[in-house]
Chain A
Amino acid sequence: MRSIRKRCEALVSIAAAGAAFAILLNGIGCQSSLPAPIPSQATPEDAPRRGGTLRIASLGEPRGFDPATAADGLSATIVNLLFDGLVDYDDHNRIIPVLAERWEVTDAGRTYRFFLREGVRFHDGEELTADDVKRSVERALHPTTPSSWASQFAAIDGFERYTEKNEPHLDGVVVEGRYVVSFRLAHPDAAFLAFLALYPTRPVCRSGGDRVSPSWHPCGAGPFRLPPDGWRRGQSVDVVRHDAYFRPGMPYLDGVRLLLLVNPTTQRFKFLEGELDFFRDLSASDATRFRNDPRWKALGDDEVDRTVTGEAMNVEMPPFDNVEVRRAVAAAIDREHYRLLKPPAISVADQPIPPAVPGHDSAIRGQRYDYAAALDHMRRAGYPYDLATGTGGYPHVIEYLAYDAGFPVFSAQILQQELAKIGLRIEIKLLSFPAFIALTHKRKRVPFSLGSWDQDYPDASDFLDTLFSSETIAQEQSPNTSFYRNEELDSLLKRAREEQDEPARLRMYKTASQIVCDEAPWAFTHYYHYYSMKQAYLRGYRPHPVRVMYMASTWLDRAGVRTAQRAAPLFRDALGSIFGSGR
């Protein structure tokens, strides 16, 4: 009897705990629908307003804001706010003058002469002159500077002498007057302006000196400046308006606060409560929820496709030294299966250059799924496969490397299934990202791996030259991870780099893309882009084709705050009243 009573007591306890949990969930309002967006105050036609601090967040931590050494995307977000360059990209991928008022190209594309705006002030109040431009370029390209970009500027006359023979100055950068500076190239480089539009060589204050120093406090001529205590490592970065910015009335914002190391769930909570004005690290499920909610849909933005992803086949290792096997792989992959893994962010790829980048051409014969053709390529390769009996195919198991993160794991499984249908068996090996990079960039080490390339600048050369030119092949740290080498392609890419006529240049890249699609060192699978959400009161924001989270021309037009956000956490208030607000 006692035993039955005890069991009943146990059951009652469990039921009571369950009921309490359910009441708690109900009481706190566990529901799946999104709250309504916080409204803006003005109509869309209203003039921009000054004031307010924009709040954004990131999963990561930046490494530093010296443009000469910054290499990670998050640092670039802040660098772009602190430093302006001679030229930049506008919203439509066109290069426009910024600190330069205008420029001219002479000497058959060998000389770029820039006429600087007069009266541009650095954050420290000093005026920008041509000397600052030369000093900043020499500082960024100096051989002791740990720059990730320096070799991209190798076309500047005297680059080798400066970096290898330690000459005191870079001859190719010439000061021709207080406000005139020219860049003389050893050979024409049609992508030179594109490099200059990137951040590494942007002018820095004289306090930056001639050489990079880790203790330097970032100082430039951009729309925002970094206060002395602006970067609280592991916590936040605050930049404030540069009052002497050369564009009158700009920027509208008082400042921008970037919260660091915020996980996506917390970012969503903060965004929904108006503690963040912009939300970029959406999970796939969050992206779907926001897209499907009619109140939020108009506040979402699809950024441009910046990344091309595919399966990189090492042409120096069997079986991918056989072009027919590579073609079989390219034809065997049904890209639609990849797209379904993350539909809001992924579109099917058929060629190396993403659609928004000049050089993408929908008229070329891109790679596409064709199972019969894949089997035919396997037969021509000498590995015929009979699906009905499961006999034939390549006799050995091929090692395939990917890194251990959500998407690559799933896409590797799809690849494994697709290739099994043509008689190619792959063994998936998942590594940490550092190990994956180290091994796949090493020559004759990995036969087959995930390949991915994020756009540095919107130009076909960024994709084709780096991934498929033999010039980028190295024993280690080889960006060309398929180790593909084709003299015709090399020659074409070299001529395209020097071609000054843009339509003629694009025709060359079309031919180059066609070669890469036909020879298939990569099986291109998908393009990737971010989907971001903004608050209704964040105005003037449009996704930039090159810069990430670029907020220099935005303004805040906030009607009010949510009750929840207005009421600061009770516990903190209580403690504040007891202990005061001293640090």
Chain B
Amino acid sequence: MIRALARRLAWALLVVWAVASVAFVLNNVIPGDPAQLIAGPQARAADVQRVRADLGLDRPLAVQYARYMTRLVHAGAWTFDSKADKAHATCAAFVPGLHVDLGRSYTLRQPVVKVLGDRIPRTLVLAVAAVALQLAFGVTAGVLAARRKNSFVDYFAVGGSLLGISAPTFLIGLFLQFVFAYKLHVLPKDGYGETFAEHAAGIVLPALTLGIFGAAYYTRLVRDEMIGLLGQDHVRTARAKGLGEGAVVMKHGLRNALVPLVTVVGLDLGALVGGAIVTESIFRWPGLGSLSVNALQNRDGPVILGTVIVTSTAIVASNLLVDALYAALDPRVRR
């Protein structure tokens, strides 16, 4: 068991390293000069050269790569003063004896670990809230639609999910903002806020936007899966044995329908941790999505690589979690 776990973790690390390396190469081979963008398109060549030297981009690409990878995780003191200790000015210590250094953002001029440290919790909260809403709406609507197939409830759920899938996220977001913030004034238009109450109020619309979009998929998934399951022999047998309809649906229908759902939820959660770019932009939620968009526009290599590493780690971790949940849900997997 421990060996299997270690093997999975080793593969996970390899995947993250490979993704980061590909991102590093891609970011450097596609046209676009970060120094030129930071100096401004109107800067003269001599001034662009100053900026390039300051960013360390005047070194050969292989040297830049080697430096990045050797600095990424390296030995270092648990406590240190990043302002006084120039060698570790852009580091963070997550475990004793090990530093993580993702470099300094070209545009924000802050250590990337600090930038990500500020953004990740906000994106995580939004991702969890969104997935919770997706599950709450999607599973409920899917079960009801399956239970009352070809009824008004089914048509409403299927029609609603069709609308949710078809409508682009930005349209859902702007519509919710227009209705609940601009017209009804029950929620703030955008922003993260400064107090807990403001954070909580601020997350409702972005989470709802993502929730509606994702719930549409889950509704269709759960409904179709449940309809198939509820017509199977073992369900008929359960009913024949006198089991109540609620128990039939929950134990023999929903539980089995959750297996494919867990896969989708796991992937969704991993992707959402990478940042819900459109939603975060509409609602000015300062998470990883808006950060990565700005970083791409400015060719801010250290931030791009940092977000790639975080996102790939999240996706790998959520896949590991999904595998563990499979085992919990389906005894055959454990065998």
In the complex, A150→B30 CA distance in Å?
28
Contact assessment for A9 and B32 in the assembled complex, using a CB-CB cutoff below 8 Å: no
**Known A28-B179, A435-B32, A477-B33: A453·B195 in contact at CB below 8 Å:** no
Query: B194 an interface residue at 8 Å Cβ cutoff?
Result: yes
Contact assessment for A571 and B201 in the assembled complex, using a CB-CB cutoff below 8 Å: yes
Contact assessment for B104 and A433 in the assembled complex, using a CB-CB cutoff below 8 Å: no
In the complex, A151→B156 CA distance in Å?
66
Contact assessment for B40 and A233 in the assembled complex, using a CB-CB cutoff below 8 Å: no
Query: A419 an interface residue at 8 Å Cβ cutoff?
Result: no
In the complex, A582→B118 CA distance in Å?
19
Query: A262 an interface residue at 8 Å Cβ cutoff?
Result: yes
Contact assessment for B50 and A583 in the assembled complex, using a CB-CB cutoff below 8 Å: no
Q: How far is the CB of B218 from chain A (nearest CB, A)?
A: 20
The residue in chain B whose Cβ has the minimal distance to the Cβ of A27 is B183
Residues of A within 8 A of B50 (CB): 143, 145-147, 150
1/0 per position for B144-155, CB-CB distance to A under 8 A? 000000111001
**Known A263-B282, A266-B190, A571-B204: A438·B33 in contact at CB below 8 Å:** yes
Contact assessment for B40 and A72 in the assembled complex, using a CB-CB cutoff below 8 Å: yes
1/0 per position for B291-322, CB-CB distance to A under 8 A? 10010011100000000000000000000000
Partner of A434, one of B37, B200, B201: B37
Q: How far is the CB of A158 from chain B (nearest CB, A)?
A: 16
Query: B260 an interface residue at 8 Å Cβ cutoff?
Result: no
1/0 per position for B121-134, CB-CB distance to A under 8 A? 00000000000000
Residues B44-64 near A (CB distance < 8 A): 44-51, 53-55
Contact assessment for B185 and A570 in the assembled complex, using a CB-CB cutoff below 8 Å: yes
Query: A441 an interface residue at 8 Å Cβ cutoff?
Result: yes
Q: How far is the CB of B15 from chain A (nearest CB, A)?
A: 27
Q: How far is the CB of A90 from chain B (nearest CB, A)?
A: 24
**Known A17-B156, A17-B159, A571-B186: A439·B192 in contact at CB below 8 Å:** no
Contact assessment for B195 and A71 in the assembled complex, using a CB-CB cutoff below 8 Å: no
Query: B25 an interface residue at 8 Å Cβ cutoff?
Result: no
Residues of B within 8 A of A564 (CB): 185
Residues of B within 8 A of A214 (CB): 104, 109-110
In the complex, A385→B191 CA distance in Å?
58
Residues B84-130 near A (CB distance < 8 A): 104, 107-110, 115, 118-119
Residues of B within 8 A of A579 (CB): 196-197, 200
Which of A17, A269, A431, A569 has the most CB atoms of chain B within a 10 A radius of its CB?
A: A569
Contact assessment for B45 and A583 in the assembled complex, using a CB-CB cutoff below 8 Å: no
Q: How far is the CB of B123 from chain A (nearest CB, A)?
A: 12
Q: How far is the CB of B191 from chain A (nearest CB, A)?
A: 7
The residue in chain B whose Cβ has the minimal distance to the Cβ of A60 is B294
Contact assessment for A434 and B196 in the assembled complex, using a CB-CB cutoff below 8 Å: no
Contact assessment for B108 and A572 in the assembled complex, using a CB-CB cutoff below 8 Å: no
Q: How far is the CB of A87 from chain B (nearest CB, A)?
A: 22
Contact assessment for A71 and B299 in the assembled complex, using a CB-CB cutoff below 8 Å: no
Contact assessment for A479 and B38 in the assembled complex, using a CB-CB cutoff below 8 Å: no
Contact assessment for A454 and B42 in the assembled complex, using a CB-CB cutoff below 8 Å: yes
Query: A92 an interface residue at 8 Å Cβ cutoff?
Result: no
Contact assessment for B47 and A235 in the assembled complex, using a CB-CB cutoff below 8 Å: no
**Known A435-B31, A575-B200: A9·B151 in contact at CB below 8 Å:** yes
Query: B181 an interface residue at 8 Å Cβ cutoff?
Result: yes
Contact assessment for B281 and A263 in the assembled complex, using a CB-CB cutoff below 8 Å: yes
Q: How far is the CB of A64 from chain B (nearest CB, A)?
A: 5
Contact assessment for B188 and A569 in the assembled complex, using a CB-CB cutoff below 8 Å: yes
The residue in chain A whose Cβ has the minimal distance to the Cβ of B204 is A571
Residues of B within 8 A of A433 (CB): 297
Residues of A within 8 A of B198 (CB): 572, 576
Contact assessment for B46 and A266 in the assembled complex, using a CB-CB cutoff below 8 Å: no
Query: B165 an interface residue at 8 Å Cβ cutoff?
Result: no
In the complex, A266→B254 CA distance in Å?
41
Query: B161 an interface residue at 8 Å Cβ cutoff?
Result: no
Residues of B within 8 A of A275 (CB): 189
Q: How far is the CB of A463 from chain B (nearest CB, A)?
A: 11
Q: How far is the CB of B103 from chain A (nearest CB, A)?
A: 12
Residues A534-582 near B (CB distance < 8 A): 564, 567, 569-573, 575-576, 578-582
Partner of B41, one of A28, A63, A437: A437
**Known A263-B281, A441-B36: A235·B191 in contact at CB below 8 Å:** yes
Query: B284 an interface residue at 8 Å Cβ cutoff?
Result: yes
1/0 per position for A448-470, CB-CB distance to B under 8 A? 00000110100000000010000
Contact assessment for B32 and A437 in the assembled complex, using a CB-CB cutoff below 8 Å: yes
Contact assessment for A431 and B31 in the assembled complex, using a CB-CB cutoff below 8 Å: yes
Question: Number of contacting residues on B, CB 8 A?
Answer: 76
The residue in chain A whose Cβ has the minimal distance to the Cβ of B106 is A63
Residues of B within 8 A of A259 (CB): 191, 284
Q: How far is the CB of A452 from chain B (nearest CB, A)?
A: 8
Residues B1-53 near A (CB distance < 8 A): 30-34, 36-51, 53
Contact assessment for B39 and A572 in the assembled complex, using a CB-CB cutoff below 8 Å: no
**Known A265-B174, A435-B32: A13·B297 in contact at CB below 8 Å:** no
Contact assessment for B41 and A435 in the assembled complex, using a CB-CB cutoff below 8 Å: no
Residues of A within 8 A of B47 (CB): 147-151
Contact assessment for A28 and B183 in the assembled complex, using a CB-CB cutoff below 8 Å: yes
Q: How far is the CB of A289 from chain B (nearest CB, A)?
A: 16
**Known A432-B32, A434-B299, A572-B197: A233·B42 in contact at CB below 8 Å:** no
In the complex, A454→B43 CA distance in Å?
12
1/0 per position for B269-301, CB-CB distance to A under 8 A? 000000000000110101000110010011100
**Known A479-B42, A572-B198: A261·B284 in contact at CB below 8 Å:** yes
Query: B184 an interface residue at 8 Å Cβ cutoff?
Result: yes
In the complex, A10→B158 CA distance in Å?
11
In the complex, A14→B156 CA distance in Å?
8
Contact assessment for B184 and A28 in the assembled complex, using a CB-CB cutoff below 8 Å: yes
In the complex, A206→B133 CA distance in Å?
53
**Known A582-B196, A583-B194: A437·B37 in contact at CB below 8 Å:** yes
Query: A234 an interface residue at 8 Å Cβ cutoff?
Result: yes
The residue in chain A whose Cβ has the minimal distance to the Cβ of B190 is A266
Query: A95 an interface residue at 8 Å Cβ cutoff?
Result: no
Contact assessment for A9 and B186 in the assembled complex, using a CB-CB cutoff below 8 Å: no
**Known A9-B155, A146-B55, A453-B42: A24·B200 in contact at CB below 8 Å:** no
**Known A10-B155, A263-B282, A438-B36: A151·B44 in contact at CB below 8 Å:** yes
In the complex, A571→B48 CA distance in Å?
49
Contact assessment for A569 and B201 in the assembled complex, using a CB-CB cutoff below 8 Å: yes
Contact assessment for B179 and A151 in the assembled complex, using a CB-CB cutoff below 8 Å: no
In the complex, A435→B156 CA distance in Å?
47
Residues of A within 8 A of B335 (CB): none
Contact assessment for A235 and B192 in the assembled complex, using a CB-CB cutoff below 8 Å: yes
Residues of B within 8 A of A260 (CB): 284
In the complex, A576→B198 CA distance in Å?
8
1/0 per position for A9-40, CB-CB distance to B under 8 A? 11011100100000010001110000000000
Query: A215 an interface residue at 8 Å Cβ cutoff?
Result: yes
Contact assessment for B282 and A234 in the assembled complex, using a CB-CB cutoff below 8 Å: no
Query: A474 an interface residue at 8 Å Cβ cutoff?
Result: yes
Contact assessment for B281 and A569 in the assembled complex, using a CB-CB cutoff below 8 Å: no
Query: B69 an interface residue at 8 Å Cβ cutoff?
Result: no
In the complex, A233→B110 CA distance in Å?
10
1/0 per position for A396-410, CB-CB distance to B under 8 A? 000000000000000
Query: A61 an interface residue at 8 Å Cβ cutoff?
Result: yes
In the complex, A559→B150 CA distance in Å?
58
What 3 A-B pairs have minimum CB-CB distances, sorted nearest first?
A434-B32, A234-B286, A572-B201
Q: A6-B150, A262-B190, A569-B187 are in contact. List 4 more A-B contacts (CB 8 A).
A: A28-B178, A235-B192, A437-B41, A477-B43
Interchain residue pairs with CB less than 8 A apart (23)? A17-B159, A24-B179, A61-B294, A64-B109, A146-B51, A148-B47, A150-B47, A151-B44, A151-B47, A214-B104, A215-B83, A234-B119, A234-B286, A235-B191, A235-B286, A261-B290, A263-B282, A434-B297, A437-B41, A466-B42, A476-B45, A569-B186, A572-B188
